[in-house]
Amino acid sequence: MRGGGRWRGVGLGHQAEGLAAAYLEGLGFSIIARNWRRPECELDLVATRDDLCVFVEVRSRTGTEHGHPLETIDARKRARVRRAAALYIEAERPQSTLFRFDVVAVTFHADMASHEVVHVEDAFEA
């Protein structure tokens, strides 16, 4: 349930994006955009490291009773992220020459005091 529910006054999706950003920063990435939006699309995170620009889709759920958050990335969602990335490149003109699509899934445990982060590099192609 990306964006669904509340946790300490902050939307679950927003909390997951913060955790994903911190995780990626721990890997040496710089977060250059959060919730980059256009009327028809959105990118959760855009990160860079060296000559690589990564478009990151963040998915979250509370528990896995209804499946893992990675299971929510369907063909339609991939197409929307690809479109958003093309618009981002056109508008922002990043200096990178390499581009990649990653997914970061955050599963919050029932107690909401702990979570699991799964990072899938190169999750889908342009």
C-alpha span between 126 and 124 (Å, rounded):
7
Residues 6+ apart with CB under 8 A from 50: none
Domain ranges for the chain, please list them.
6-124
How is domain 6-124 classified at the CATH fold level? Trna Endonuclease; Chain: A, domain 1 (3.40.1350)
Q: Which two tokens stand for residue 52?
A: 């690589």
Rounded mean pLDDT, 93-109: 94
* pTM assigned to the model: 0.87
Span 33-51, pLDDT tens digits: 999 999 989 999 999 999 9
Percent of the chain with pLDDT over 70: 92
Q: What angle do CA 1, 40, 96 make, to 5 degrees?
A: 90
